[in-house]
Structure formats: C-alpha cells, structure tokens
Amino acid sequence: MVLPECALCFGTEGGWATLAEPDLTEPGNASAQAPMQRALSELAAEFGLCLVAGTLPILAEDGRAYAASLVYGPDGARLGRYDKIHLFDVDVEDDTGRYRESTHTHPGRGITVVDTPLGRLGLAVCYDVRFPELFRALAEQGADLIALPAAFTEPTGEAHWDTLVRARAIENQCYLLAAGQQGQHANGRRTWGHTMVVDPWGRILAQLPQGEGVVSAEIDREEMARIRHRLPALKHRRMP
C-alpha cells in the first residue's frame, strides 16, 4: 500500500515543519511523541501490509523537516526511510504561482531500497521523477518496484505526469507505484492525482484519474523477468 506525498499533513499553515516529529528509530527517541509514526506502524500491523507512508515531516537539524517516505512491514516494524532529495523550487502557471519547498524542507541524501515480499522496493518522491539518474541508481540496487508518492500541480501533472512515470518504468524495467494527491486543497493548491500502477513495459495497469480511492494491480515477477530477458537494456548500458 502506497500513500500519496504529504498524506497526513498537506498545506499546513506556517509550513509543515511545524508538525515535524523526531525519528523514532534514532538513539534516544524511542519514547518521543511521534503520533504519526506510531499510528502508521499500528495500521501496517493491523492490516498485515507493507505500507509506504507517503511522506511525513521528520525533524531536521536546522529546524526544517525532511520529507521522509517511511516503509513499514506487516508486523509494524520500520523497513526503511527515504528523504526526498529534489525539492520543488519552481514557478508554475497556477493560482499558487511560486513554490519554494526548500523554505521548510531539508533535502535528503542517498537512496533507499528495501526488501519486501513482492521484491526489492525503491523509494522516490514527486519531483524526483524528473531526475532519471536517481531511478537508475535504484535499479542498480536491484529495485523491482519503485514507490512514488506525489502531489503534482495540475499544470505540470497534465503536461508531464503520465509520460514521466511511464518513462521511469520503461527505462528501468520495473513497476512504478505512483500515488498522487488530487483536488482542490484548503491552501488553494490544486493537484493532479492520476494515481497509477505501471508495469516494466510501460503499460498502465490501473489508474484513478480523479477523486479519492484505491487502485490495485497484480505484480507479475515472471513477466518482468521475461521483459528483462528479451530486451536486456539494463545490461547493455555503456557510459560515454
């Protein structure tokens, strides 16, 4: 189960860093107040899910927050954490106009791939999808699936979302699990949605264009192996 970016706190007044929690797995934080992390761990255990918890604000050293994508296993234990690397400091032709994610968000460092019952799961977030080198690094670490929580703006989503998600799946011959915020939000932002599951051939297996809901699809590891065998592009890479 993959939740969208900012699944529990979107458009927070004063910036989402005001809701930042300490990382419960870091030394000395085991008893800290961290209701979002504790609730998500409990939900994963209650329903026996591997849960990618979108992104949560995790306190950074400079008072900002990391956009942390946390993965919980079916027993509620945390399997991994990825902090969004590429921050959305962009001017967009919509009602918001100016986005400066770095004001409240600290950029992450490094990539994350975790083992799950469905295979090796790589993690990325929203704006990351425009940087193919990150996805190739995940593929080189053996990613069979990549989770992409997102909150694309309406103009950029309409123009590029489908193309970018499908391209990252095709290039890396893996499944893309892309969960997107959608609709008109209290802070005036409009997001594109179009949550989808894309297979290693670039086929959209399931999609929810608008509204709240859930999409699901079968993950066929044998089909992925056939695609990689017939068209071994990952093995054909040559650096110029």
Distance CA 211, CA 4 (A): 13
Taking alpha carbons only, the member of 77, 78, 210 closest to residue 68 is: 78
Q: Reply yes or no on whether 5 is catalytic.
A: yes
Long-range contacts of 165-169 (CB under 8 A, 24+ apart): 165/129, 165/196, 165/198, 166/198, 166/202, 166/204, 167/132, 167/202, 168/129, 168/132, 168/135, 169/198, 169/199, 169/200, 169/201, 169/202
Distance CA 37, CA 65 (A): 14
Cβ(101)–Cβ(118) below 8 Å:
no
The catalytically annotated residue of 6, 50, 126, 174 is: 126
Q: Reply yes or no on whether 126 is catalytic.
A: yes
- What are the φ/ψ torsions at residue 142 (nearest 5 degrees)? 90, 20
The catalytically annotated residue of 5, 21, 101, 154 is: 5
Taking alpha carbons only, the member of 62, 42, 65 closest to residue 53 is: 42
Q: Reply yes or no on whether 9 is catalytic.
A: no
The catalytically annotated residue of 6, 50, 84, 101 is: 84
From residue 179, how far is each of 54, 56, 73, 106, 219 by CA, in Å? 8, 15, 19, 22, 16
State whether residue 124 is helix, strand or coil: coil
Largest CA distance in the chain: 52
Active site residue ranges = 5, 84, 126
